[in-house]
Amino acid sequence: MTDRYAVMGNPIGHSKSPQIHALFAEQTGQDIRYEAILVPVDGFAQAVDQFRKQGGKGLNITVPFKQEAWALATQRSERAELAGAVNTLSIKDDVLAGDNTDGIGLVRDLTGNQQISITDRRLLLLGAGGAARGVIGPLLEQSPASLTIANRTASKAIELAKLFHNLGDIEARGFTELAGKAFDVVINATAAGLDNQTPDIPDNVINSDTVCYDMMYSKEPTAFVRYAKQQGARKAVDGLGMLVEQAAESFYIWRGVHPETRAVIAELEA
């Protein structure tokens, strides 16, 4: 029988996950079916239960259900515990196992596909919400020189830094406190791009020595990528590669096979 997988979210119509997993399955010879399921904002637990009863094997979880998925999971990986969010659920018998592949997806795209070094670099992570929390652990595992978390509301950045202080050198600042600071890599984990906006950071934070990465992706350059290029950034890319890499890690968790990602990224870009 063909094994069934899906991505759940709201909204979900824009999701590239079905296309990505179809390409993975074709490449690796795995017999799976993968679909996108729109879930009512107040109906996540019921949707997961229905999917389980119908024989579903695994789920990707996207906005706004990652924290709810964390709470629903009966087992959680260490990286899911750290992230406080789950984007991958594996279903076997009565066990609902939760994992988070966002951070490893980001790191693999940065260091592998984009050839952006993190080790011994000064990192700036913009935003202190769920997207930021999900990638801090994997970023710190790469041994950066420092990691600064910045947020419009400084207190949220401070809270997040406290959660991860035992993993490495972390600072927390408000956006206005970034003036005069220099960074090698700037990662945007804010939701500003949803409104075609950019984080309200001082202009001199990004310069010709800075590499910029937007965790959001779009057919056209995102607002943050456009802004970074206007500021003269050495390189500015969006998060399409992260999307594919985190999906590949989910695929491996479910099927035990590592798909090759670069051809899939190239096909999506085309």
Q: Which residues are catalytic?
A: 66
Number of Cα atoms under 13 Å in the Cβ half of residue 201: 28
Sequence length of the chain is 270
Residue 88 β-bridge partners = 60, 99
Residue 50 β-bridge partners = none
**What are phi and psi for residue 134, nearest 5 degrees?**
-70, -15
CA distance 208 to 50: 52
SS3 per-residue string spanning 58-102: EEEECCCCHHHHHHHCCEECHHHHHHCCCCEEEEECCEEEEECCH
Residues with Cβ < 8 Å from 200, sequence gap 6 or more? 152, 175
DSSP 120: T
CA distance 65 to 59: 12
R_g of the chain computed on alpha carbons: 18
Q: Copy the structure tokens of residue 156.
A: 């949220």
CA distance 91 to 58: 5
